[in-house]
Structure 1
Amino acid sequence: MAFIKNLKYKIENFVLDIPSLEIKDNEVTVLMGPSGAGKSTLFNLITGFIKYSDWQFEINGVDLAKKEISDRELGVVFQSFELFPHLTARENIELVMQSRKNNGAQAIADLEKFKNILSLTNCWNTKAQVLSGGEKQRVALLRAVMAKPRMLLLDEPFSALDLANKEEARKLVKSVLTEFKITTLLISHDTKDAQYFGPNLVLIDNGQIRPASS
């Protein structure tokens, strides 16, 4: 189980104030809110891109708030995907697998399986800089999953895709998350993401968590 507790972070005139937030174990929790609600600030605090330790971010009893970025062992899919452009799809994924020491026989079998499920076979040895938006999104997802993360963090993972690709991408992401059963926080402003990945919905507005029914 993942918990955020006692988080109060001020940046200029904005205050992110989250006394408590539960992210359900092995399920997808959708954090939804408008632009400026505090989603990006929370993302940067969780990942460690904002250095701030006066709060609790616990996963299975381990407080990650005071750990360095690399020691948090999160799997992240960025809004702009953040692949290494000079590396192939395969190399982008294998680099993370090696760094997390997730390169045993089972990991290799999982990689092969989901390479096919995500339709990455034809672009497997293509450099990331020439991949389509949909291909980059799928590579970024598989890279994050194969990092064997404590938790998966998806930051607006469908916003860079056109409407047709969004629908297909949602289906593929859900199939992978269902198979791997990873504790996941999906950050979005799109109500369709909440509808598709529900029922664990958390609303954020003006830096505060709101009841999903409001």
Structure 2
Amino acid sequence: MASSLVLKYFKSVVCFMSAGRRFHSDQPSNKPAEKKTKSGSKAASSSKSSTDGVSVVYTRWLMKSEPESRIEKGVDVKFGLEDLKKEPDQTACWDGVRNYQARNFLRDQMKVGHLAFFYHSNTKVPGIAGIIKITKEGYVDHTQFDKKDPHYDSSSTKDNPRWFMVDVKYICDTKRFISLAELKGLYQKHAQSGGPLKNLALFTRARLSVQPVTEEEFDFILGLEDKPAA
């Protein structure tokens, strides 16, 4: 269900194809920080969420990752867009998510072919760096069982796993970096005027490292790359 703007965009960036891997930063209560992962390919299905009793279908997402080194339990959890590009087939599993709502998005709603913004978080200038595609739907996150991994969860078992991940593939860099500050200014303006970003989850559900994005929001944000930074 790609919009004409997205189709036009992908025609213009087809020559950019390269790929990569994982990591983000939801901070749920009393849970280890989250992380990300990898990819595959196929046609997009739709996924549903409920907002105030109304069913909402999502095929677009925003996924946060840390592009700068940060050592957690002796492991560097850095994973930026450039790291994803270096992965085999520029594909990686999006592991380490330890927030239940974000987990549910990964496990239940993300479908092969869905697109996502790759968002750099926990850095001096956070923001959107590129676009990735879901290539494998939710499956068990192996890091929850690894005692040496920063995202190990002693309460999770292989018979009853708690955490899930998807695979993602690099599609392209955005033509320019779209900063959190720019998006915040637009969100505040749209919240008053009723513009496309008035309910953007980046601000209404800020702590989630995996967030749903409507097609209207996705297309509007994508259109910013052809305009000077606000």
Q: Which category of TM-score, normalised to the shorter sequence, fits these structures?
A: under 0.3
Task: Determine which structure has greater relative contact order: mean sequence separation of CA pairs < 8 Å that are 6+ residues apart, divided by chain length.
Answer: 1
More helix by share: 1
